[in-house]
Structure 1
Amino acid sequence: MFIRSERLFLRPGWPEDWAELLALIDDESVVRNLARAPWPYSPADARAFASQPQARRHPHFFVTLPGATGARLIGCVGLTDQDGGAELGYWIARQHWGRGYATEAVRAVLALAPTLGHRRLGAHHFLDNPASGRVLTKAGFVPTGDVRPRFSLARRGAAPSAAYVLHLAAPVNGGSEGGDAGDSIEVMRAA
């Protein structure tokens, strides 16, 4: 499954992506904001993540930025199974922060989520990462008011985390479009 948004192209990871992935995520300021990624992040971790199979209802995508010389990897976004529900997760490499790429990638996945059968998504961010909370709010998530310790593999322990929720509408026009007015999202499936 592939998603094209206004500036980004979201695609599955391929095993040969491991080195580019490692070069971007080998940054403690990125990894410490993730729950499931270890620190230090090793070549074996990158190989395992890039080779991960896609789950039908919980896909994950490499976020790429198309350009004249190809599409550069800039981060990841996806859905995971969390206690029978779906949870959104994402990261963008530090050199691409502050340009709206996280919000655009999140909105692209949100446009797809109803076609996968999701009607509610959860998300969290560590309190010392308020920028992630702003991304979630811009994408339509609402804080639940629930703040509790959440384990982070990179931090080797729990840190306070705020919970968010988003109730999704049924897909419109077969689920091929979504997001705010003016946003164009196209979902493509491999034959």
Structure 2
Amino acid sequence: MFAITERLLLRPGWIEDAPALSRAIGDHAVVRNLARAPWPYALGDAEHFLAMPQRHDRPHMLIFRREGATPELIGGIGLSDGVNDTPELGYWLARAHWGRGYATEAGRALIAACDETLRLPHLIAAHALDNPASGRVLAKLGFRPTGEIGRMHSLGRGGEMDVRGLIRPRFARGEAVADEQAAPLAA
């Protein structure tokens, strides 16, 4: 899956991206908000991530900024298995690119592509309570709080983090449909 927006290119990662990936994500302020990324994040971690096979219904893409002469790897976005195998949206951006709308732009592109091709019934997401900026991004993407606060393990923190659960209502013909079964957070 590929997506092009006004400022971004989203595409699958290739092994040749490993050095740029390890540099972009190699910041504790970034990794501490992720569940599966280890700290410190080394070149071998990037190579391992990029070599992992992907499921067609759980795409992972790297985010490249296209505003310069050469695209610059600035983040990642994708779907993984959440609670009860519900597709869960996750993303990250290199700190130098926070606050510029890139996460929202990438999220909109991925969700549009998934709505068009995968027709997933709904998406879930979670954000660390001490990362309210991520909550604002998710709200812009149509996610709403489930009302659940839980704890999630974070390799980057070396322990647990408090998270708020969110769900993006399913869409039918472009209109939101209420979802009575919000997926619970992992305890």
Fold match, TM over 0.5?
yes
- Specify the alignment match of 2:122 in structure 1: 120
Does the residue aligned with 2:171 lie in a helix, a strand or coil? coil
- Specify the alignment match of 2:138 in structure 1: 136
Whether contact under 8 Å (2:7, 2:67) holds in the other structure is: no
- Specify the alignment match of 1:91 in structure 2: 92
Kindly report which structure 2 residues correspond to 1:27-66, keeping only aligned pairs within 5 A, or say none.
27-66=27-66
Counterpart code for 1:105: A
What TM-score does the superposition give when structure 1 sets the normalisation length?
Answer: 0.86
Kindly provide the CA deviation profile for residues 105-158 of structure 1, in whole angstroms up to 9, marking residues without a partner as x: 111111122221311100000101111000000111001110011111111111
Kindly report which structure 2 residues correspond to 1:109-188, keeping only aligned pairs within 5 A, or say none.
109-114=110-115, 115-170=117-172
| Root-mean-square deviation (Å) | 1.3
Q: Name stretches of at least 5 consecutive residues in structure 1 with no aligned partner.
A: 173-191
Q: Name stretches of at least 5 consecutive residues in structure 2 with no aligned partner.
A: 175-187
| 118-127 or 63-72: bigger deviation | 63-72
CA distance in 1, matches of 2:31, 2:87: 21
CA distance in 2, matches of 1:33, 1:68: 28
Counterpart code for 1:88: L
Identity %: 50
- Specify the alignment match of 2:104 in structure 1: 103
CA distance in 1, matches of 2:32, 2:140: 22
What TM-score does the superposition give when structure 2 sets the normalisation length?
Answer: 0.88
Runs of 4+ with deviation above 3 angstroms: none
Whether contact under 8 Å (2:18, 2:46) holds in the other structure is: yes
| 30-39 or 46-55: bigger deviation | 46-55
CA distance in 2, matches of 1:15, 1:58: 19
Kindly provide the CA deviation profile for residues 55-81 of structure 1, in whole angstroms up to 9, marking residues without a partner as x: 100001000011442211010000012
Does the residue aligned with 1:70 lie in a helix, a strand or coil? coil
Larger RCO (alpha carbons 8 Å, 6+ apart): 1
CA distance in 2, matches of 1:64, 1:50: 15
Whether contact under 8 Å (2:89, 2:125) holds in the other structure is: yes
CA distance in 1, matches of 2:20, 2:30: 15
Q: How many correspondences in the alignment?
A: 172
| 86-95 or 151-160: bigger deviation | 151-160
